[in-house]
Amino acid sequence: MSMTSDPRSLNTSSSPGGDGGRSQGENPTDHEDPPVSGAGSGCVAEVTDATGRVSEAEASWLADMASRAVAAIGLSGSLRVRIVGDDEMAAAHQEFLDDPTTTDVLTFDMSDEQGLDADLMACLDEAERRSRELGHQRREELLLYIVHGVLHCAGFDDHEEHARRRMHHREDEVLRMIGVGPVFDRVSGSRGAEGDRP
């Protein structure tokens, strides 16, 4: 899911003051951890857990792999990822796309000719459901959502069947390039006529 919008309401951007991605004057919540950064090949990726359910080690792995994925896609710049639960995701989905349901990822692309500048929201609850169903780790599912969001920033879309298949193929290609292996198409080799997973 991709959109261009004002992401400031997401409170995912960091500031030099080290406020953990919160707006000035905002009090941190008890369950939100400060962002974990992964830097590599010209990309700084920050992962902030708003759920309180992602370990620092998992957030660090996601930040590192996200930085590697951005480089594998051929981009450089800044990526901020906010891990959220169903309620926050559904609220953002309603606000920005007029859809009251939860979703896997929302992309807020502010990139320009200077490079990648994007905020992503990735849904932990959805990642947990899908990873249980498909038999892989939730961090791999979350990383898939991050790669999907970055590919939107690189010009990919998933509105038509052919484009969706191309995008999902590229997701797994990027994940293979960074040593994770395919996640979208890991189980069956083909995910149905629409390119959607079961």
pLDDT at 33: 56
Residue 188 lies in a domain: no
| pTM for the whole structure | 0.78
Structure confidence at residue 114 (pLDDT):
87
Q: What are phi and psi of 176, to 5 degrees?
A: -65, -40
Structural domain includes residue 12: no
96: in domain: yes
The answer to whether residue 67 sits within a structural domain is: yes
- On whether residue 136 sits in a domain, the answer given is yes
- Number of folded domains that form the chain: 1
- Per DSSP, 15 falls in state -
pLDDT recorded at residue 98: 98
Bridge partners for 48 per DSSP: 82
List the CATH number of the domain containing 108: 3.40.390.30
Give a yes or no: residue 98 inside a domain: yes
Q: What is the pLDDT of residue 186?
A: 80
At residue 102's C-alpha, the angle toward residues 134 and 179, to 5°, is: 40
Per-residue DSSP letter, 112: B
Contact predicate 79/118, CB 8 Å: yes
Looking at the domain assignment, is residue 99 inside a domain? yes
pLDDT at 40: 45
- Check if the beta carbon of residue 2 is closer than 8 Å to that of residue 97: no
Which range of residues forms the domain containing residue 90? 32-177
- H or E element, residue 43: strand 43-49
Which one-letter amino acid corresponds to residue 16?
P
Alpha helix (H) residue ranges in the chain? 56-73, 86-97, 124-134, 138-153, 161-177
Residue 194 is assigned to a structural domain of this protein: no
Q: Is 185 exposed, middle or buried (0-12, 13-18, 19+ CB in 10 A)?
A: middle
Mean pLDDT by 10 residues, the chain (198 residues): 38 32 36 52 90 98 97 96 99 98 98 94 98 96 98 95 96 97 74 39
Handedness of CA 137, 147, 180, 36 (dihedral sign): negative
